[in-house]
Amino acid sequence: MNENESIVSLLQEVQAKNGYIPKDEIYRIAAEKGVSPAKVTGVATFYSQFRLSKPGKNLILLCKGTACHVNSADGIAAALKEELGIGGGETSADGLFTLEFVACLGCCSLSPVMMINGVAYGSLTPEKAKRIVREIRDSNDGKGA
Amino acid sequence: MLRIVVGMGSCGVAAGAGRVKEALERAGTKPGITGCVGACYLEPIVDLYEGAELKRRLVKVAPEDAPAIAAAAESGDLAGVERLAISAEDEEFLSRQTRIALRHCGVIDPESLDAYRAADGYKALEKVLGMTPEAVIEEIKVSGLAGRGGAGFPTWFKWNAARNAKGDEKYLICNADEGDPGAFMDRAVIESDPHSLIEGMLIAAYAIGAKEAFVYVRAEYPLAIVRLEKALGDARAAGILGKNVLGSGFSCDIRIKAGAGAFVCGEETALIESLEGSRGMPRLKPPFPAEKGYLNKPSNINNVETFANVAWIILNGGAKFAAMGTENSKGTKVFALTGKIRRGGLVEIPMGLTLREVIFGIGGGIRDGKRFKAVQMGGPSGGCIPESLLDTRIDYRELGATGAIMGSGGMVVMDETTCMVNMAKFFLDFTARESCGKCVHCRIGTRRLHEILTRITEGKGREGDVELLEELCRGIKDGALCGLGQTAPNPVLTTIRYFRDEYDAHIRERRCPAGECAALRKFKIDPAKCKGCGACARKCPVKAIAGESKKPYAIDPAKCIGCGSCEAACRFGAVAKA
């Protein structure tokens, strides 16, 4: 570990490796940086990017930006809830999907937008959003993570 | 033989540009790529070039069109693809703009240093290395360039303060933490023209005397980070970046720092805290970053769009930039035109045009034949501007007088179906969640504002709620430390100022004039249009719809919760708001 790296950078490394920040890693970073675990936890919970629990196999980021709001992002959230049974910050029981609401994905002209595993899907309708997650679920053969 | 170029910005990719490019490759061609030309509503876009000349711009291209495009490129005969050619009207979306910050976007290959150099790239840097830093700052002063991130502070003043600050170690920081929902010009510049950001930053670093620089990019912009990393590597390998820039003896390197997701980090002192690895909470000013910034050393922070103008100003002269715009606001500004607009995307125009010219002239007005209601500018720090003020000019002061702000350039257009109380609630939900928690007024005040707005949209508003909102807003404006907290009440104050009647309708008549607030609306079925299929009844979550097969169904208003599931389910347009 590079001791000159900041706490934010170290947390980003951990999350890139694990997909989330396990509790042990918070203690490890605190010990190596010589600060309290509370300070590291404070940083980890301040930023929306950091997750403290294991995400599902597929990460859905649903944009709740202004343009998406005006073009009914709430309707997409309701459709995903209907299809997957999860709301913002939740993971489906089969471990296949985690849904997160994000402030803006910067694809406002294609609103409403969601990003799944880094791929953006635009001009969504409730039906289209359901179809996209269904296709991903089918391609996963229904197997959990 | 024509050259095929596919627009591969994030928006283009989301619209299917990647699949189009693959199909073109399968059809035996070797398409080049470019970034985002800004006409997002026309994506995916494929350009056909003969040498440097654009022969035809093809829009809304599907993978199935690839064979026809490949054949046209091979033969030079465009007849087979004319059906995809951009219309004269859509062409106007681009031709009515004046592009400086976006000058290369959608034109050159963002992943090629040679392409940037062929477009006069790094010539401004060469010129600057033969000038004194003071002369560089003077040129920027003449241009009148002001911070494009939102505050509009004169760029030369910040550079000069950092130059004059005591100390050998100075830092330059690019704020690419584009957090305003509804703004995406910074993403487009980095994805489409990363070298222009690097060149602008090197010029600024030379002017203030910084040897180290950072780009603080949002983690939500993965493609931008990839393109910028490649551009930095190419520039380093070419001797443009790092030690001894272009053999001049001046050294400066640029590193990327990915943000971790916090709106408040757009505030410069919070951004510095975040760069240092802490929670992004704003610091008290003074001392300003120019004196004590990153690691308590003199630092200068500008945003992406600001830097993207710099090389152009150096090459063309500050006076030419200053010749555009108004007395207070010089040059051009990029706006992200979105919402209920017909032609949405990135629009760069000289300052001084009116909002009407941008929204109706370039953007083509409201789509689906609806009526314009308001335009939201400046994101969560900005406000909603009504139809009566559409002739306001794009100018820092004139926009400020409306209660909105220029901001970073988000322009979200709303029509008659958007509820303004709900809009204010949307923004306060955002600021309440994003408040860093340092100042009580912001942390708790925004929450209380959100609660009051929520009860109004649920039909539980009380007489006097509007006055209570106003009082809270004043408290937050006075009691918050940073610009984000101080401006958090703006969406509430501007909607009260211009759309008070909508607040009153919610509170006194328990009615949402826009028909958006679910708790205040009911639906009914038009018996003449209903075919009796029962689709709505199956979707209704509260079993409020009943009827016999093949006969008109009916909704029990006592049970209806106004969710709109029935309206979405009906294939015959028989369900409407009551």
Q: Give pLDDT tens digits for A104-124.
A: 887 888 889 999 988 889 899
- Helix segments in B480-576, DSSP class H: 483-487, 490-508, 535-539, 565-569
What pLDDT was estimated at residue B340?
94
Q: Check whether residue B292 and residue B216 sit in a common domain.
A: yes
What pLDDT was estimated at residue A141?
59
Of B479, B508, B537, at which residue does a domain stop?
Answer: B508
Determine whether the interchain pair A9/B257 forms a contact, defined as Cβ–Cβ distance below 8 Å: yes
Instruction: Return the residue matching tokens 């060469």.
Output: B126
User: How many folded domains does chain B comprise?
Assistant: 5
The span from the CA of B164 to the CA of B447, in Å, is: 42
Q: Check whether residue B220 and residue B305 sit in a common domain.
A: yes
Q: Check whether residue B307 and residue B224 sit in a common domain.
A: yes
What pLDDT was estimated at residue B375?
97
User: CA of A39, closest CA in chain B: separation in Å?
Assistant: 9
Amino acid at site B374: A
Q: What does each of the 578 residues of chain B score in pLDDT, given as a tens digit?
A: 899 999 998 888 888 999 999 999 999 999 999 999 999 899 999 999 999 899 999 999 999 999 999 999 999 999 999 999 999 999 999 999 999 999 999 999 999 999 999 999 999 999 999 999 999 999 999 999 999 998 899 999 999 999 999 999 999 999 999 888 889 999 999 999 999 999 999 999 999 999 999 999 988 888 899 999 999 999 999 999 999 999 999 999 999 999 998 999 999 999 999 999 999 999 999 999 999 999 999 999 999 999 999 999 999 999 999 999 999 999 999 999 999 999 999 999 999 999 999 999 999 999 999 999 999 999 999 999 999 999 999 999 999 999 999 999 999 999 999 999 999 999 999 999 999 999 999 999 999 999 999 999 999 999 999 999 999 999 999 999 998 999 999 999 999 999 999 999 999 999 999 999 989 988 999 999 999 999 999 988 889 999 999 999 999 998 988 888 899 889 999 999 87
Q: What is the CA radius of gyration of chain B?
A: 26
A77/B contact by beta carbon, under 8 A: no
Closest CA to B152 of B418, B479, B449, B409: B409
Determine whether the interchain pair B14/A11 forms a contact, defined as Cβ–Cβ distance below 8 Å: no
> Is position B481 within any domain?
yes
- Tell how far CA A26 is from the center of its chain: 19
The span from the CA of B517 to the CA of B425, in Å, is: 11
Determine whether the interchain pair A47/B278 forms a contact, defined as Cβ–Cβ distance below 8 Å: no
Residues of A within 8 A of B376 (CB-CB) are 66
**B184, B274, B414 ranked by CB distance to A8: nearest:** B274
**Structural tokens at position B305:** 């769009």
A46 to chain B: nearest residue by CA? Answer: B279
The torsion region of residue A60 among left (phi > 0), alpha (psi -120 to 50) and beta comes to beta
What pLDDT was estimated at residue A144?
45
Determine whether the interchain pair A47/B280 forms a contact, defined as Cβ–Cβ distance below 8 Å: yes
The torsion region of residue B109 among left (phi > 0), alpha (psi -120 to 50) and beta comes to beta
Please say if the pLDDT value at position A143 is more than 80.
no
Residue B148, SS3 per DSSP? coil
A19/B contact by beta carbon, under 8 A: no
DSSP string, A95-109: SSEEEEEES--S-GG
Instruction: Return the domain boundaries, chain A.
Output: 7-46, 58-139
Of B278, B293, B321, at which residue does a domain stop?
Answer: B321
A1/B contact by beta carbon, under 8 A: no
- Helix segments in B36-105, DSSP class H: 66-75, 88-95
CATH number at residue B560: 3.30.70.20
DSSP state of B359: I
Q: Check whether residue B152 and residue B283 sit in a common domain.
A: yes
Closest CA to B172 of B132, B133, B227: B133
Closest CA to B487 of B333, B383, B385, B336: B383
Q: Check whether residue B450 and residue B409 sit in a common domain.
A: no
Interface test with B, best of A8, A20, A127 (most B CBs within 10 A): A8
CA distances from B300 to B101, B205, B242, B257 (A): 20, 9, 19, 16
Closest CA to A130 of A71, A64, A85: A85
Determine whether the interchain pair B14/A46 forms a contact, defined as Cβ–Cβ distance below 8 Å: no
The span from the CA of B210 to the CA of B409, in Å, is: 29
Q: Check whether residue B309 and residue B186 sit in a common domain.
A: yes
**A50, A64, A67 ranked by CB distance to B339: nearest:** A67
Amino acid at site B179: G
**B187, B279, B414 ranked by CB distance to A42: nearest:** B279
Cβ neighbours around B109 below 10 Å, total: 18
Into which CATH architecture does domain A58-139 fall? 3-Layer(aba) Sandwich (3.40)
Q: Check whether residue B193 and residue B265 sit in a common domain.
A: yes
Print the domain residue range for B164. 113-321
Determine whether the interchain pair A8/B260 forms a contact, defined as Cβ–Cβ distance below 8 Å: yes
